[in-house]
């Protein structure tokens, strides 16, 4: 049985940093594709696999028992070759050779740039936002964020216990090279005294020192600073703050543990919905789209327009985090 609008074969790949829920999205794309009567191909290691023809046939059973697993069974890569015209050409040629009429790309903005380049070479693409950073501008939500923020929140609660016992200052570094959403949400969820976001941090350490000393006078037993990876240097910062305040200060870098683990219900359901939606719009004949969550609904945007959109750090949440840290 052939799919609608001339689509017979679709491909799916995961690209960039992995995120919990990517497997649920892969499962939805594969099984929804098969339900629509399509052939489904899995491309391993993201665009690297497409450039190297690492393409496998996917059956309903290929995606058994993965909905609850972190990581991505298709594996992923940050593919430098896709930044070159030769790389994009090779990827497009290989997609055409494999008979792929529609390619589902699960990843972040960087991965969508690759998808846009492929679309300019005649490959029909649909993006699904998947990154723990929440920094895909066109979408209110990205698959993996909820799991990652809950993983980090639980870890920070544990650091807080020991920080209070020892009446210390604790700097906890969370992921986010360019984006502070994870740091902001952890800061709010963990009741942090300071949240350092790459988007707005002014590198004024004296202000942090003054805040710590003022809070000590108010009777606070600890001082939690959430520092985003993009600012980094948490160990040096801890040494400087200890020297300036006279208070024991420790740094904890949570690192890649935030990217792993079993996806939360929200990530599984969002990934499943977006995966099915991507296949539906391919079958409707839509071209060059990104699936997004906007105002509580799953919808889709043109990929060119999607990539031009901007998303800001919510000022209100930054303001309340400050007003509560007294």
Taking residues 248 to 267 in sequence order and writing x for each that binds ligand F6P by CB under 6 A, - otherwise, the string is: -----------x--------
Does 289 help bind ligand F6P (rule: CB under 6 A)? no
Does 138 help bind ligand F6P (rule: CB under 6 A)? no
Torsion angle (degrees, nearest 10) of CA 175, 185, 293, 112: -20
Does 101 help bind ligand F6P (rule: CB under 6 A)? no
Does 184 help bind ligand F6P (rule: CB under 6 A)? no
- Exactly one of 5, 158, 177, 221 binds ligand F6P (CB under 6 A); that residue is 177
Does 146 help bind ligand F6P (rule: CB under 6 A)? no
Cα angle value 187/145/141 (rounded, 5°):
110
Does 17 help bind ligand F6P (rule: CB under 6 A)? yes
Strand partners, 294: 297
- Exactly one of 106, 156, 175, 196 binds ligand F6P (CB under 6 A); that residue is 175
Residues serving a catalytic function are 133
Stretch that binds ligand F6P, among 63-71, 126-134, 277-285, 315-323 (CB under 6 A): 126-134
Does 163 help bind ligand F6P (rule: CB under 6 A)? no
CB of 180 to ligand F6P, least distance (A): 10
Q: Radius of gyration (Cα) for the chain, nearest Å? A: 22
C-beta separation of 64 from 53 below 8 A: no
Which residue in 178, 200, 173, 145 sits closest to 318, CA to CA? 200
CB of 256 to ligand F6P, least distance (A): 7
The helix, strand and coil proportions of the chain, stated in percent and rounded to the nearest 5, come to 45, 20, 35
- Exactly one of 103, 132, 238, 291 binds ligand F6P (CB under 6 A); that residue is 132
Which residue in 58, 175, 47 sits closest to 112, CA to CA? 47
Does 131 help bind ligand F6P (rule: CB under 6 A)? yes
Distance CA 114, CA 14 (A): 12
Place of tokens 């995120």: 19
Strands 169-174 and 223-228: parallel
CB of 138 to ligand F6P, least distance (A): 17
Does 176 help bind ligand F6P (rule: CB under 6 A)? yes
Does 106 help bind ligand F6P (rule: CB under 6 A)? no
Which stretches of the chain are DSSP H helices? Answer: 22-35, 46-51, 85-97, 109-119, 145-165, 181-189, 205-217, 234-245, 265-283, 303-308, 315-324
Which parts of this chain interact with ligand F6P (CB under 6 A)?
17, 131-133, 175-177, 229, 259
């Amino acid at each position: 049985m052939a799919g609608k609008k001339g689509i017979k074969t679709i491909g799916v790949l995961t690209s960039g940093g992995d995120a919990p829920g990517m497997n649920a999205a892969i499962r939805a794309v594969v099984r929804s594709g098969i339900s629509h009567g399509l052939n489904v191909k899995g491309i391993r290691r993201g665009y690297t696999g497409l450039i190297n023809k690492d393409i496998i046939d996917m059956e309903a059973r290929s995606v058994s028992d993965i909905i609850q697993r972190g990581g991505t069974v298709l594996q992923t890569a940050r593919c430098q070759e896709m930044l070159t015209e030769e790389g994009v050409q090779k990827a497009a040629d290989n997609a055409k050779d494999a008979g792929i009429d529609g390619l589902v790309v699960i990843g972040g903005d960087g991965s969508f740039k690759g998808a846009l380049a492929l679309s300019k070479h005649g490959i029909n693409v649909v993006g699904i936002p998947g990154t723990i950073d929440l920094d895909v501008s066109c979408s209110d939500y990205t698959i993996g964020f909820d799991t990652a923020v809950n993983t980090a929140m639980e870890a920070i609660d544990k650091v807080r216990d020991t920080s209070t016992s020892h009446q210390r200052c604790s700097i906890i570094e969370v992921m986010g090279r360019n984006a502070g959403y994870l740091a902001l949400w952890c800061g709010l969820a963990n009741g942090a005294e300071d949240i350092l976001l790459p988007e707005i941090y002014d590198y004024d350490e004296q202000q942090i020192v003054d805040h710590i000393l003022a809070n000590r006078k108010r009777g606070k037993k600890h001082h939690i600073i959430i520092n985003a990876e993009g600012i980094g240097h948490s160990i040096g910062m801890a040494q400087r703050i200890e020297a300036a305040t006279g208070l024991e200060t420790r740094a904890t870098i949570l690192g890649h543990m935030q990217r792993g683990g079993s996806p939360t219900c929200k990530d599984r359901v969002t990934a499943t919905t977006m995966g099915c939606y991507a296949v539906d719009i391919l079958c409707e004949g839509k071209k060059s789209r990104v699936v997004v969550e906007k105002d509580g609904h799953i919808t889709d945007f043109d990929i060119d327009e999607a990539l031009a959109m901007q998303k800001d750090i919510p000022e209100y949440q930054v303001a309340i985090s400050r007003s509560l840290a007294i």
